[in-house]
Amino acid sequence: MPETIIIGSDHAGFDLKERVKEWLEERGFAVEDVGSQSPEQVDYPHYAHLVADAIGSGRRARGIVICGTGIGVSIAANRHAGVRAAVVCGEQTARFAREHNDANVLALGGRTLDPTLAERILDVWLKTPFAGGRHARRVAMIEKDGAES
């Protein structure tokens, strides 16, 4: 059974979301699209929260959120316990987001990323494992109740 990636975007991320969905499906992933379903203006927090709810509850392991820059959706998604959303702008930041931070939500900018670069980012983010080790202690500290005194 293929892994299902949950994805959501606002109007500014709609075109990139559609391209990302196609890219994922071509590589054997199932995609749960929570919207938006058109480039008509909508509010990005709604879609970021839908994706983050699925990740935070454990219903989905990984998700993608897209708005104009990736910043707004990442801020909204990171309000949820258990979500580690990272705005990624290149292959190196995609690698570090996974390797060092165990990012389970990828935040992309529909107005700031070339679609071909977004596909390379996706490839790296999906293939890079979490390094664990010293990074695991730090990731555990991200949750408010996991912070050391």
Tokens for 64, please give them.
């993608």
What is the tens place of the pLDDT at every residue in 4-31? Answer: 999 999 999 999 999 999 999 999 999 9
Tokens 């080790």, residue? 133
**Catalytic sites, residue numbers:** 67, 100
Domains of the chain: 4-143 (3.40.1400.10)
Residue 10, SS3?
coil
Which H helix or E strand runs over 139?
Answer: helix 134-142
Beta bridge partners of 64: 7, 106
Is the pLDDT at 148 greater than 80, yes or no?
A: no
Contacts of 49 (CB under 8 A, 6+ apart): 76, 77, 79, 80
Q: What is the pLDDT of residue 145?
A: 59
Answer for the pair 7, 31: CB distance below 8 angstroms, yes or no. Answer: yes
Length of the chain: 149
How far apart, in whole angstroms, are the C-alpha atoms of residue 148 and residue 137?
10
What is the tens place of the pLDDT at every residue in 90-137? Answer: 999 999 999 999 999 999 999 999 999 999 999 999 999 999 999 999
Tokens 């499906």, residue? 25
C-alpha count within 13 angstroms, C-beta hemisphere, residue 110: 22
**Helices (H) then strands (E): counts for the chain:** 6, 5
